[in-house]
Amino acid sequence: MISPDSDLYRAHPDWAVHVPGRENSPGRQQYVLDVSREDVRDNIFGQMCSVLKNYRIDYLKWDFNRNLSEAGSALLPPERAHEFFHRFTLGTYDLMDRLVTEFPDLLIENCSGGGGRFDPGMLYYSPQIWTSDNTDPIERLMIQFGTSLCYPASTMGAHVSRCDRTDYRTKGDVALWGTFGYELDPNKLTEEEKEIVKEQVAEYHKYYRLIRGGDLYRLISPWDNAFRCAWSFVANDKSEALVTVVTMRMAQETLFRLKLKGLDPQKYYRNEADGQVYSGSLLMYAGMEMTGQAEGDGASCKIYLREV
């Protein structure tokens, strides 16, 4: 992005995306730099290098804060103006490639605008993409459920934030589906909430390999069920599973039995919470009795099963 009120724009107004001879439309008080041009990419790369080389920076957020309007370039003649979008995308990839080549240990996170801009091409350079600025855990269920149809949990940026709709346990359970993190002021957390955060961070490390390397099973879709959402991660060798249930709103019918998927019907599994042992066949075909669990609007629970 480039501000109209900047030294760079005053020196190089042609570096903004525009159609020659037409008035440009600002968005969010910004224009967009024309990265289809090599000289523009050189300038951006040089500015970024001067910062990244002089400071210890491990993480970079790459956002795209407005739509392209007046999509054109000063370097393209009218008969080739239709090439702009393709050239802009290739220019973005080129800039990303130069960054990860120069700074191989730099973690770049892209931004998807609510899941709509997840791009396999960008994932080549940035292994995770911020799924949505909407961090409400109930709203996130549909966002993450939909994104997971195409992309693995390791790519979905998901955070715990200061949202009053649910408690911190539900926020953490939903964020655990993605890259997991916090975006809040820790100084405003109560002592009880700080202890919950410590537990959640420990859970993140405990379940890290299972969530990122296991198979995802969508058990209850928030589009098909107005009350509950559920999913699980199952290890490739069927030796363990993590099941998550979120109650979006309580139903009048409180009896709840959840049928799992992906387990080995010949294996037996112990519920870490209560020590009960179940066969994989029972858990998948009869289901697990969960009446009274995740009870109440915005409540959630996790069930960790390990082969015995």
The one catalytic residue among 39, 42, 63, 237: 63
Q: What is the reported pLDDT for 163?
A: 87
For the cut 90, the answer to whether the pLDDT of residue 282 exceeds it is yes
Sequence-ordered list of residues with C-beta below 8 angstroms from that of 140, at least 6 positions apart, any chain: 131, 132, 134, 158, 174, 175
SS3 label, residue 161: strand
7-214 sits in which CATH class? Answer: alpha beta
Q: Does residue 133 have an active-site annotation?
A: yes
Average pLDDT, stretch 296-303?
96
Q: What is the reported pLDDT for 112?
A: 80
Which of the pair, 117 or 17, is modelled with greater confidence?
A: 17
For the cut 90, the answer to whether the pLDDT of residue 254 exceeds it is no
Average pLDDT, stretch 88-109?
96
For the cut 90, the answer to whether the pLDDT of residue 118 exceeds it is no
204-218 pLDDT tens trace: 999 999 999 999 999
The one catalytic residue among 39, 42, 97, 133: 133
Q: What is the reported pLDDT for 164?
A: 87
Residue 239 corresponds to which tokens in the numbers above?
């030796």
44-96 pLDDT tens trace: 999 999 999 999 999 999 988 788 999 999 999 999 999 999 999 999 999 99
Q: Which helix (H) or strand (E) holds 244?
A: strand 240-247
156-177 pLDDT tens trace: 999 999 988 999 999 999 999 9
User: What's the rounded Cα separation, in Å, for the pair 231 and 106?
Assistant: 32
User: What's the rounded Cα separation, in Å, for the pair 131 and 172?
Assistant: 16
Q: What is the reported pLDDT for 252?
A: 81
Residue 225 corresponds to which tokens in the numbers above?
């069920």
Q: Does residue 63 have an active-site annotation?
A: yes
Q: What is the pTM of this model?
A: 0.91
Average pLDDT, stretch 29-56?
96
SS3 label, residue 118: coil
Residue 301 corresponds to which tokens in the numbers above?
């629970």
What kind of architecture, by CATH, is found in domain 217-307? Sandwich (2.60)
Sequence-ordered list of residues with C-beta below 8 angstroms from that of 130, at least 6 positions apart, any chain: 61, 63, 109, 110, 111, 112, 157
Q: What is the reported pLDDT for 115?
A: 63
Q: What is the reported pLDDT for 114?
A: 60
Q: What is the reported pLDDT for 64?
A: 83
Question: Which range among 22-26, 117-121, 294-298 shows the weakest confidence by mean pLDDT?
Answer: 117-121
Domain ranges (residues) in the chain = 7-214, 217-307
Q: What is the reported pLDDT for 183?
A: 94
